[in-house]
């Protein structure tokens, strides 16, 4: 990290006069179980499918094949597609890593190459445009999916790796990713407050806001819907005029340029404490890349202020214009009130009221069609759903935190001070599928819950909501994953209730480093052939 970087620190400052509620909803356990189950069914038509993964990665491979025909060029995907938190209408973000002083020359060449594909390629390339902004971007549509191509944006790979790692550390059946997808769908389809290009939230900013809610309320969350309610209730009453948001807590604007986080109130203990966050930042930013050259800058105040956990001088709320501030605040406040009303209804009406709460999302994606898939898919309400897998390739993502020197990639060693050229990563730029890396864990995989009938899926999903029902808790392992067991009886799954421990492991910071995959004596098998057709994730 830069020597001038201010480190987040927890102080004894108080937010008593402006403390967001976050804990204000008192709903009985059965209502939560019913609501979480219906939210699970809604998620099943919005989240990434294996077939949508395949289609998007075929597009990525197509663009990569066009670009990597040039010597000294590598192409990486970042953002919500590799993280697997994209919506059916979401775009594909690619960054081209070039040699030094090669970027400007290659921009025009790539633009002309894509223009020449218009009307000729089976991938149906249209609307190729060059946007000469601060971060230059080539935009186009491929198979009716928006594709943004930037250059040398290593920061996006750091953010991807960080969020993937935190999702694995927290575990609980990808609660972070499922919560991001559900809240993103509401922000995009229902309230229309998502889209940095229209003066609203960026998807990364939204992900950090969701992550803070889980970081703060992790011990009391039953599932993604409870995360969403905490999200709306907390930020709807948050005093954005006086405070910034960071993963360590609210930061008084008056304390800047020093970044001093307010201590959590109401007895909450952060899952990712200061030590854990510091470990993450040092892990990703010990490499000499230009992604961290501006870390010494002060945090720029905007209308909504969100501190990037990986670069404190980066305000993730900078895209929200002054004209949209009240719109965002009103959306959060109104959303919290409507969701509170839904959850307060009699059991028999909660389900259809929640469907109405996500009405635009289901109207767009629940009728058996998706924007990113040509063939029909399973419609909402049938009791079945498409196969889905939210596990990501953390091993591959971490391998992309590299410096591009002499046409070779160098992977930083786990001790943060040495660099090595890994034999196992020589084909990283040509990986097919996700190459899922999963640390030691015993929980049921997410995609298993989408096999078979709705009855089986329904029973499986109750383990999130049943946490609040019986107050039981199971131990989290060092990776933050929650142990659970399941058995299949006559087509129905029996799953033990679970919850994550109320306090984070004492050695969570160390476990972050220990979760980084190591090479096995440098003898990983090398792939010698490159296919231009992606097999499914």
Q: What is the pLDDT of residue 136?
A: 85
Distance CA 53, CA 209 (A): 25
Q: Which two tokens stand for residue 245?
A: 């948001």
For residues 147 and 94, is the Cβ–Cβ distance under 8 A?
yes
**In the chain, what are the domains?**
9-47+157-365 (1.10.1410.10)
Written as tens digits, the pLDDT of the chain (537 aa) is 343 334 344 333 444 434 555 555 578 889 999 999 999 999 999 999 999 999 999 999 999 998 876 666 788 999 999 999 999 999 999 998 887 677 777 888 889 999 999 988 899 999 999 988 778 899 999 999 999 999 888 888 889 999 999 999 999 999 999 999 999 999 999 999 999 989 999 999 999 999 999 999 998 899 999 999 999 999 999 999 999 999 999 999 999 988 889 988 777 889 988 888 888 777 766 544 433 344 457 899 999 999 999 988 999 999 999 999 999 999 999 999 999 999 999 999 999 999 999 999 999 999 999 989 989 999 999 989 899 999 998 887 777 665 443 333 333 332 332 222 223 223 333 322 322 222 222 334 444 444 443 333 333 444 444 444 444 333 333 223 333 333 333 333 333 333 333 344 455 656 655 555 443 333 334 333 333 333 333
* Residue-level pLDDT at 210: 98
Q: How far is CA 173 from CA 32, 37, 74, 206, 468, in A?
A: 18, 14, 33, 20, 16
Q: Write down how long the chain is.
A: 537
Cα gap 480→234, rounded to integer Å: 24
Q: In 3-state terms, what secondary structure has residue 162?
A: helix
Question: Residues with Cβ < 8 Å from 70, sequence gap 6 or more?
Answer: 106, 109
State the angle between helix axes of 454-470 and 29-46 in degrees (0 to 180), rounded to the nearest 10: 140
Helix axes 175-185, 29-46, angle to 10 degrees: 80
**What is the separation of C-alpha 454 from the centre of its chain, rounded to a whole number of angstroms?**
27
Any residues with CB less than 8 A from the CB of 115 and at least 6 apart, and which? Answer: 128
Which pLDDT score is estimated for 334?
Answer: 97
pTM for the complete prediction? Answer: 0.76
Q: Are strands 243-246 and 125-131 parallel, antiparallel or unpaired?
A: unpaired
Q: Is 345 helix (H, G, I), strand (E, B) or coil?
A: coil
Max CA pair span of the chain = 66
* Cα atoms in the Cβ-side hemisphere of radius 13 Å centred on 391: 21
Is residue 477 packed enough to be buried (19+ CB in 10 Å), middle (13-18) or exposed (0-12)? middle
User: Which segments of 309-392 does DSSP mark as H helices, in order?
Assistant: 322-343, 347-357, 359-365
What pLDDT was estimated at residue 465?
Answer: 43
Would you state the structure tokens that stand for residue 420, as one six-digit string? 């090595």
Q: How far are the Cα atoms of 56, 125, 220, 371, 442 from residue 144, in angstroms, in the given order? A: 11, 8, 41, 8, 39
Q: Is 193 left (phi over 0), alpha (psi -120 to 50) or beta?
A: alpha
- pLDDT, tens only, 101-136: 777 778 888 899 999 999 888 999 999 999 887 788
């Amino acid at each position: 990290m830069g020597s001038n970087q201010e480190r987040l620190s927890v102080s004894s400052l108080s937010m008593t006069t402006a403390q967001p509620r976050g804990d204000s909803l008192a709903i009985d356990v059965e209502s939560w179980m019913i609501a979480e189950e219906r939210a699970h069914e809604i998620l099943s038509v919005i989240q990434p499918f294996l077939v949508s993964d395949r289609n998007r990665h075929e597009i990525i491979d197509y663009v990569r094949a066009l670009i990597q025909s040039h010597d000294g060029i590598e192409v990486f995907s970042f953002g919500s597609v590799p993280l697997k938190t994209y919506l059916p209408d979401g775009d594909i973000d690619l960054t081209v890593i070039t040699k030094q002083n090669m970027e400007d020359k290659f921009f025009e060449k790539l633009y002309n190459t894509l223009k020449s594909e218009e009307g000729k390629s089976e991938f149906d390339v249209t609307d190729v445009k060059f946007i000469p902004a601060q971060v230059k971007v080539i935009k186009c549509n491929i198979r009716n999916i928006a594709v943004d191509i930037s250059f040398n944006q290593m920061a996006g790979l750091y953010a991807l790796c960080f969020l993937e790692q935190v999702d694995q550390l927290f575990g609980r059946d990808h609660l972070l990713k499922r919560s991001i997808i559900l809240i993103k769908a509401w922000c995009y389809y229902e309230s229309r407050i998502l889209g940095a290009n229209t003066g609203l939230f960026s998807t990364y900013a939204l992900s950090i806001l969701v992550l803070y809610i889980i970081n703060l309320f992790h011990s009391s969350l039953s599932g993604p819907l409870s995360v969403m309610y905490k999200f709306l209730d907390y930020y709807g009453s948050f005093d954005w005029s006086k405070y910034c948001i960071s993963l360590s807590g609210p930061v008084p604007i008056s304390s800047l340029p020093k970044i001093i986080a307010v201590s959590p109130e109401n007895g909450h203990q952060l899952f990712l404490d200061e030590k854990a966050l510091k470990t993450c930042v040092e892990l990703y930013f010990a490499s000499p890349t230009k992604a961290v050259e501006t870390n010494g800058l002060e945090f720029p105040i905007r209308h909504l202020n969100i501190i990037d956990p990986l670069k404190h001088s980066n305000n993730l709320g900078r895209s929200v214009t002054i004209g949209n501030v009240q719109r965002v605040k009103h959306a959060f406040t109104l959303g919290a009130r409507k969701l509170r009303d839904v959850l307060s209804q009699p059991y028999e009406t909660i389900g259809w009221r929640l469907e109405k709460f996500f009405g635009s999302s289901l109207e767009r994606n629940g009728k058996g069609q998706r924007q990113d898939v040509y063939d029909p898919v399973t419609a909402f309400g049938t009791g079945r759903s498409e196969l889905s897998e939210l596990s990501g390739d953390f091993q591959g993502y971490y391998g992309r935190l590299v410096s591009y020197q002499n046409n070779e990639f160098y992977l930083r060693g786990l001790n943060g001070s040495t660099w090595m050229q890994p034999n196992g990563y020589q084909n990283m730029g040509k990986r097919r599928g996700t190459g899922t890396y999963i640390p030691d864990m015993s929980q049921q995989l997410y995609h298993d819950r989408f096999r078979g009938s709705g009855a089986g899926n329904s029973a499986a999903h109750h383990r999130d909501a049943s946490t609040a029902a019986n107050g039981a808790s199971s131990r989290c392992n060092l990776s933050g994953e929650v142990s659970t067991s399941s058995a299949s009886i006559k087509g129905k799954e029996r799953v033990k209730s679970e919850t994550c421990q109320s306090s984070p492991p004492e050695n969570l910071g160390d476990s972050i480093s220990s979760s980084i995959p190591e090479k096995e004596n440098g003898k990983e098998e090398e792939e010698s052939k490159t296919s231009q057709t992606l097999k499914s994730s």
